[in-house]
Each structure stands twice: as structure tokens, then as C-alpha cells.
Amino acid sequence: MTPNLLLCLLAGLLVGCGVHLLLARSVVRALLGFLLLGNGINLLFVVAAGPRGRPPIVGLGDESQPMADPLPQAMSLTAIVITLAMTGFVLALAHRSWQLSRSDVVEDDPEDARIGLRALENDMSESDFHGGPGADPRHVDPDEAPPGTVPEEDDGTHPDPDAAPPGSAPGKRAEPGVPGSDDAAAGLDADRPDHVDPDPSTPEPPARRPGQEGAL
């Protein structure tokens, strides 16, 4: 079989543009990239179907001519249907992302960023060296659950389990009495993307901060 050069080049162009767009951080651009990629691959199926001009259905036209291979057509139809369904899902996801954060940018994983930051600062959690916060009575205080936090865990209106009291950031409370260490912990929390860009529909519960200070 001699493949059609023009179709091959076109498929290559579409796939190339698709890959370029797929690498973008914007969800919509990446989706367009996926669509281009899908179209490029469907063209590859057309190339694989053999030479052009053969009848698609037996019984129409010249009976002596061989029929077009129906299998690649069936396969690219299946692929088109699947791509359509996936596109619908991604559009819904992009819309939801825009609803929640007014952006369609793919965010970094906050936990990953936090671990990376700790590695940069060569910061070891103190519980690797001591018996844990419970071994030192001073450590119990900042983590002690104020009565206010218990129903808060229960009511479930707050979807972000990471939004813990600032004092509980690991490795940053060796000296709870020193204001500097607490500030550093608060600063670390403020660097996290989920704190920079809080969810507008669920405001931070106001009870936490006063309860925390009361415990200190």
C-alpha cells in the first residue's frame, strides 16, 4: 500500500499543533489541543484505509472494483464518538473550575508544593527526632483541639481538609512560645495556592482563628 503523502503531512501538522496546545496550562487550550490531536489520528485511520475512490457500499457502481475497507471507517467513527464524550466531560470540568476559582488554569498540587518547599528549606519534621509532639508537653498546646473545631469537622460545610490551624504546619512549631516560629508557619500557609485563591463560595470559617488564639 502506498500512503497518501498529503494526508500524512496534514495528520502530522494536526498532531504537532495538538501536542503544542495540550502542553498549555489553560484547560480550554489543552482541550483544543486534544481535539486537534484526535482529528490528526482520525486522518491516520483514513490513510490506513487504502487508496481513495473505492465505493463504500457493495452494489453501487462498478462491481468489478474492490470495496473500500470498512474497518478503519468503523474505528475512526468509534474514536470520534469517544472524543465527543470526553470533550463534553472536559468542558463540564472546565466550567466547574471556572465556577470555583474564576480561572481555567491547571493549578499545582498544593501538598506537592509544600513538600517541595520543605525540601528546599532542608526542614525535617521534629517528630522524626523526638517522640512526637505529645512527648513534649509544650507541643500539646498549639494542636489541642479547641471545642469549637469539633463540630466544625462534623458539619462538613468546609470542603478543604487541609485548611488546618496555622500552628499545625509541620516542623514549624519547635518553640510555640516564640512568636517568630508561629509567624513563619502562618507565612508558609499563606504561600499555599489554596490560601492565595480561596474558594469564594465557602468562606473560611471565622471561628477558627479566635479559638486558636484562645488556646495559645
Partner 1 sequence: MSDEMLHTLLTALVPLPVLLPLVGAGIALVVRTRTGLQRAVSVTTMSLVLVIAVTLLWGADTQGRLLVTVGGWLPPQGITLVVDRLTALMVLVAVTVTFAVLLYAIGQGRGAMDRESGGNAPVPIFHPTLLVLLSGVSTTFISGDLFHLYVGFEMLLAASFVLLTLGATIDRVRAGISYVFVSLASSSVFLMALAMIYAATGTVNMAQLSVRLAELEPATALVLQVLLLTGFAVKAAVFPMSGWLPDAYPTAPAPVTAVFAGLLTKVGVYAILRTQTLLFPGSPLPDLLLWASLLTMLVGILGAVAQDDVKRLLSFTLVSHIGYMLFGVALASPAGLSASIYYVAHHITIQTTLFLVAGLIERRGGSTSMSKLGGMATMSPGLAVLFLVPALNLGGIPPFSGFLGKVGLLQAGAEQPTPLVVALLVGSVLTSLLTLYAVSRVWSRVFWRPPTVAPVTEDNRLERRYERRFALAPGVVAPTAALVLVGIALTVAAGPLLAVTDRAAAELLRPDGYVALVFGGGEVP
Chain positions 131 to 150 lying near partner 1, rule: CB under 8 A, are 131-135, 139-140, 143-145, 147, 150
Contacting residues for 25 by C-beta, under 8 A, at least 6 apart = 105, 106
| Geometric angle at alpha carbon 112, from 107 and 116, rounded to 5° | 120
Q: Binding residues for partner 1, how many (CB under 8 A)?
A: 72
Interface with partner 1 in residues 10-69 (CB under 8 A): 15, 22, 27, 30, 34, 37-38, 41, 44-45, 47-48, 69
Provide the b/e sequence for 58-84 (b: ≥16 CB within 10 Å).
eeeeeeeeeebeeebeeebeeeeeebe
Closest CA to 207 of 130, 145, 162, 124: 145
**The three grid cell numbers given for residue 8, joined into one nine-digit string:** 500524512
Mask of contacts with partner 1, 96-125, x by CB under 8 A?
Answer: xx--xx----xx-x-xx-xx---x-----x
Per the listing, cell 469564594 goes with 200
The reply on whether position 199 binds partner 1 by CB under 8 A is: yes
CB of residue 145 vs partner 1: minimum separation in angstroms?
5
State in angstroms the smallest separation of the CB of 61 from partner 1.
Answer: 23
For the bound state, the minimum distance from the C-beta of residue 90 to partner 1, rounded and expressed in Å, comes to 6
Q: Please count the other Cβ atoms lying within 10 Å of the Cβ belonging to residue 159.
A: 10
Query: Least distance in Å: CB of 63 to partner 1?
Result: 21
Among residues 55 and 113, whose Cβ is nearest to partner 1? 113
